[in-house]
């Protein structure tokens, strides 16, 4: 006990305690930066520092790293990235906090790094959110302020330097003051530190919660886009009866909005104000133009049933969804602009800087390529591209489905490369003929006897001609196909079999209207879509 007050010869455990307190101070400083960063982000309606850094990392990480992350974490990759950033902050914060307990000035490297990383990320992001810098600075200032308060309290508790207490010879230039009694001294010093720490924690925590709440309130106000939908001159007829077989466990023909897969590089969903939205059509065109939503609404609008699919979808995967889209034929807009014949690429850009290269040919060949404003009878939700996105039947999303699109530039594949093309993905990426078993559920259990087999198959813009299944590697048998409204959607299939108790397999293959039958050869999604056949196992008892 008495050892604790003997200057310069602090026992081990006092050193350890000091290290722990240093780490704690570092964490509190990180907490203050994060809390006030969130508060500023919420109040100023800008991106929070952590998300800004995350966005910059996503956009600037090597393609291989990204693929690895996506393959490992799937659509949870964003949460993992944020968790990773927070872990680094915690680690760096703790280390700097410990160092600052010896050399206080070192602590300020923390807020300095926070500022540097945050501002670099703001600069790297080509998106238009320079205001995010304000949140970075607010966070750094709060961190520095918290550090100053905590260091002062820490010094009162432990003394100015490692293990030494106030009032020791080191502190008073060799003129020793009488050492205070341990209880008297440590009492207020410890209490002061605890009170300061608790205060910093409470204030930063409240700032963080307040920031998140106000960000959520802002998001909520805009969460359900309310714009009135244009009415098509010739509405599409209802889906033909029999598109949905209604088999329990089978993917419904129309994907409910809440189940529609989401894929994009955005860490926070862009919330575009439709009254400020503008679309620019330019590049290799004779009559470049720019329109806003009101002008767009005066054009002819159509409906189309289109199944959208992601190139990253694995065999048997569910990064695919079908709905009825409402939108403006892209071909009409391009004809208005007058596309030059050698412009083979439509390079579209979204508000968040993501770019997409679509073959001009695919948009102009008569298919229902859309600048969509609605899906499933409602305006596009923010997450799916409000107020306007592209949808091109037959092409994977990364080459034809730009969400939050504001810029369409006619160019050449030889001259400009899109976001994913720059990262090694394909340039021409028509959706590959594919099929999936939904029923029985993979690794599911059924009763032995008659068993229903069902699933979906797709070959958008070619159409599915046949689906075959085989059980336990037996003979291929043709499945029955449900109705479809056209060639741009998936189709449900159904078959029956009789099995005894035990483990069984079901394999499926589709043939499209060109006569091509889905290959068994397994190929990875990169660069232009997976191939292979979906085969599941189930148990009958």
Q: Round to whole Å and give the CA distance between 344 and 361.
A: 7
Q: Of ligand MTE, Mo ion, none, which one sits near residue 289, judging by CB under 5 to 8 A according to partner kind? A: none
Check residue 320 and report its DSSP letter. Answer: E
- What is the nearest approach in angstroms of ligand MTE to the Cβ of residue 309? 7
- What is the nearest approach in angstroms of Mo ion to the Cβ of residue 314? 12
In the complex with Mo ion, the residue whose CB is nearer, 73 or 476, is 73
Question: Closest Cα to residue 386, out of 374, 397, 398, 377?
Answer: 374
Strand pairing category for 535-540 and 477-478: unpaired
Q: Is 263 in the site for ligand MTE (CB under 6 A)?
A: yes
Q: Round to whole Å and give the CA distance between 340 and 334.
A: 10
Q: Looking at beta carbons, which residue is closest to Mo ion?
A: 310
Q: Of ligand MTE, Mo ion, none, which one sits near residue 260, judging by CB under 5 to 8 A according to partner kind? A: ligand MTE
Q: Is 516 in the site for ligand MTE (CB under 6 A)?
A: no
Q: Is 398 in the site for ligand MTE (CB under 6 A)?
A: yes
374-393 residues near ligand MTE, rule: CB under 6 A: 384
399-458 residues near ligand MTE, rule: CB under 6 A: 401-404
Q: Is 504 in the site for ligand MTE (CB under 6 A)?
A: no
Check residue 285 and report its DSSP letter. Answer: B
Coil vs helix vs strand at 509: strand
Q: Is 157 in the site for ligand MTE (CB under 6 A)?
A: no
Q: Round to whole Å and give the CA distance between 270 and 382.
A: 7
355-374 residues near ligand MTE, rule: CB under 6 A: none
In the complex with ligand MTE, the residue whose CB is nearer, 18 or 389, is 389
In the complex with Mo ion, the residue whose CB is nearer, 26 or 397, is 397
Length of the chain: 541
Place of tokens 């009878």: 377
Q: Is 265 in the site for ligand MTE (CB under 6 A)?
A: yes
- What is the nearest approach in angstroms of ligand MTE to the Cβ of residue 399? 8
How many residues make contact with ligand MTE (CB under 6 A)?
Answer: 18
Among 386, 398, 425, 538, binds Mo ion (CB under 5 A): 398
Question: Closest Cα to residue 351, out of 405, 282, 408?
Answer: 405
Q: Is 310 in the site for Mo ion (CB under 5 A)?
A: yes
What does residue 261 show for φ and ψ, rounded to 5 degrees?
A: -60, 155
The continuous run of DSSP H or E covering 182 comes out as helix 182-221
Q: Round to whole Å and give the CA distance between 159 and 153.
A: 10
Among 185, 328, 354, 386, binds ligand MTE (CB under 6 A): 354
Q: Is 425 in the site for Mo ion (CB under 5 A)?
A: no
Q: Round to whole Å and give the CA distance between 7 and 214.
A: 49
Which residues have CB under 8 Å from 89's CB, separation 6+?
30, 33, 34
Count the helix, strand and coil residues of the chain and give each as a percent rounded to the nearest 5.
Answer: 35, 20, 40
Q: Round to whole Å and give the CA distance between 455 and 457.
A: 7
- What is the nearest approach in angstroms of ligand MTE to the Cβ of residue 60? 15
Q: Round to whole Å and give the CA distance between 381 and 259.
A: 13
From the list 64-72, 227-235, 390-398, 482-490, the region that binds Mo ion by CB under 5 A is 390-398
From the list 227-235, 286-294, 347-355, 440-448, the region that binds ligand MTE by CB under 6 A is 347-355
CB 111 within 8 A of CB 140: yes
304-323 residues near ligand MTE, rule: CB under 6 A: 308, 310
Q: Is 262 in the site for ligand MTE (CB under 6 A)?
A: yes
Among 397, 400, 455, 485, binds Mo ion (CB under 5 A): 397
Q: Is 526 in the site for Mo ion (CB under 5 A)?
A: no
The continuous run of DSSP H or E covering 481 comes out as strand 480-481
Question: Closest Cα to residue 98, out of 21, 22, 18?
Answer: 22
Among 166, 196, 350, 360, binds ligand MTE (CB under 6 A): 350
Q: Residues interacting with Mo ion, by CB under 5 A?
A: 263, 310, 397-398
Q: Residues interacting with ligand MTE, by CB under 6 A?
A: 260-265, 308, 310, 350, 352, 354, 384, 397-398, 401-404
């Amino acid at each position: 006990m008495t050892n604790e007050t003997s200057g310069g010869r602090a026992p081990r455990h006092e050193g350890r305690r000091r290290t722990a307190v240093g780490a704690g101070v570092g964490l509190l400083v990180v907490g203050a930066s994060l809390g006030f960063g969130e508060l500023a982000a919420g109040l100023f309606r800008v991106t929070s520092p952590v998300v800004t850094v995350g966005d910059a990392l996503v956009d600037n990480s090597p393609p291989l790293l990204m693929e690895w992350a996506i393959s490992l974490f799937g659509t949870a990759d964003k949460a993992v990235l944020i968790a990773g950033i927070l872990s680094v902050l915690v680690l760096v914060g703790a280390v700097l906090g410990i160092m600052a307990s010896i050399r206080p000035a070192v602590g300020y490297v923390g807020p300095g790094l926070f500022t540097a990383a945050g501002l670099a990320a703001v600069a790297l992001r080509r998106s238009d959110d320079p205001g995010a810098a304000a949140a970075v600075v607010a966070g750094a200032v709060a961190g520095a302020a918290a550090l100053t308060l905590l260091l002062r309290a820490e010094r009162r508790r432990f003394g100015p330097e490692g293990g030494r207490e106030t009032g020791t010879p080191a502190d008073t230039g060799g003129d020793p003051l009488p050492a205070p009694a341990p209880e008297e001294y440590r009492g207020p010093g410890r209490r002061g530190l605890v009170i300061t720490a608790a205060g910093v924690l409470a204030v930063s925590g409240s700032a963080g919660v307040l920031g998140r709440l106000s960000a959520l309130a802002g998001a909520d106000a805009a969460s359900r886009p309310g714009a009135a939908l244009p009415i098509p001159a010739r509405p599409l007829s209802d889906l033909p009866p029999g598109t949905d077989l209604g088999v329990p466990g089978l993917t419904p023909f129309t994907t409910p909005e809440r189940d529609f897969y989401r894929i994009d590089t955005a860490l926070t969903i862009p919330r575009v104000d439709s009254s400020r939205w503008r679309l620019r059509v330019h590049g290799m065109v004779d009559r470049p133009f720019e329109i806003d939503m009101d002008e767009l609404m005066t054009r002819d609008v159509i409906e189309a049933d289109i199944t959208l699919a992601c190139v990253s979808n694995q065999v048997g995967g569910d990064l695919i969804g079908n709905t009825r889209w409402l939108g403006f034929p892209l071909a009409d807009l391009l004809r208005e602009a007058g596309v030059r014949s050698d412009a083979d690429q439509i390079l579209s850009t979204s508000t968040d800087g993501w770019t997409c290269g679509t073959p001009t040919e695919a948009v102009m060949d008569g298919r229902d390529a859309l600048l969509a404003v609605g899906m499933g009878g409602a305006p596009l939700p923010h997450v799916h591209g409000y107020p306007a996105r592209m949808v091109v039947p037959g092409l994977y999303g990364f080459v034809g489905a730009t969400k939050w699109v504001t810029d369409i530039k006619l160019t050449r594949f030889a001259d400009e490369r899109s976001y994913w093309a720059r990262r090694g993905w394909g340039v021409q990426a028509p959706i590959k003929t594919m099929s999936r078993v939904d029923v029985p559920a993979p690794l599911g259990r059924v009763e032995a006897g008659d068993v229903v087999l069902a699933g979906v198959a797709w070959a958008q813009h070619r159409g599915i001609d046949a689906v075959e299944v085989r059980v336990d590697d037996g003979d291929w048998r043709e499945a029955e196909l449900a109705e479809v409204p056209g060639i741009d959607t998936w189709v449900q299939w159904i078959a029956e079999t009789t099995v005894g108790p035990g483990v069984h397999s079901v394999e499926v293959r589709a043939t499209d209207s060109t006569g091509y039958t889905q290959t068994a050869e397994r190929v990875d999604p990169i660069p232009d879509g997976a191939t292979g056949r979906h085969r599941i196992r189930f148990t009958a008892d």
